[in-house]
Amino acid sequence: MPYNNYKKIDEVLGEFGVNYAEQHFIQISEIEIPEYFEAEIELTLREGIYKNSEYALCETLIYPTLREIWKRYKTDLSLWSHQPLNYNENLCGIPDYMVARRSPMGKIFLEKPFLIIVEAKKDNFEEGWAQCIAEMIAAQKINYQANQTLTPIFGIVSTGVIWEFGMLSENYGTNHFTKEITIYTIQNLKLLFAAIAFMFEQSKLELTAFRKL
């Protein structure tokens, strides 16, 4: 069924036989934030109208932040917005954002997705993660078709202000979803920037491993 039909984390995990855990897995490294971008975010938070709609949150906070970090990885990774991702009739729909392998055939071709980003509509992280996990499972299955290996898939759910992180990985034949314990916010842009950059870096590493298979 469409991804947005999933409403509870335990239901989607149970349906696909995925275990659940919470722990620290994000590793923070020093990363420079461009001054102009810090100024733009500060301006948005201080003067901008960004809480009036879901579209405003995406356009003013979520996408600009993702795009700023993506610039560092644009040679290897593509950032997709509202692109269909369909595995079968039970896993289909349109993720808010995806980070995928940059196709050698050109930027218009969607290749293997490694990072899924979902907006938490109406601040509902339960539904946001249920949808995100379903999309992560679809991405994992799509990648499996290409190399017969369950590659890790990374996920982010955000309101634009609050950001949460997760990872779907296989271990000894069992799929595990791990949710990062630490919650990051746009007010601490330095830490948030580093956390998102970690997810992009892991996606790039998985891409490198993917190419070797």
Strands (E), the chain: 18-23, 77-81, 97-102, 110-119, 153-158, 162-171, 174-180, 184-185
Torsion sign, CA atoms 194, 200, 206, 207: negative
d(CA 56, CA 66): 15
pTM, entire model: 0.93
pLDDT digits (tens, 9 = 90+) for 147-162: 666 789 999 999 999 9
Size of the chain, expressed as the number of residues it contains: 213
Residue ranges of domains in the chain, CATH in brackets = 3-212 (3.90.1570)
pLDDT in tens, 159-182: 999 999 999 998 777 899 999 999
Mean pLDDT, the chain, integer: 89
Answer whether 116's CB lies under 8 Å from 135's CB: yes
- State the pLDDT confidence band at 11, using cuts at 50, 70 and 90: very high
Q: What is the pLDDT of residues 101-141, one digit of tens each?
A: 987 888 888 788 999 999 999 899 999 999 999 999 999 99
Joined together, the tokens standing for residue 19 give 């275990």
The pLDDT tens digits for 66-87 are: 999 999 999 999 999 999 999 9
pLDDT in tens, 180-202: 999 999 999 999 999 999 999 99
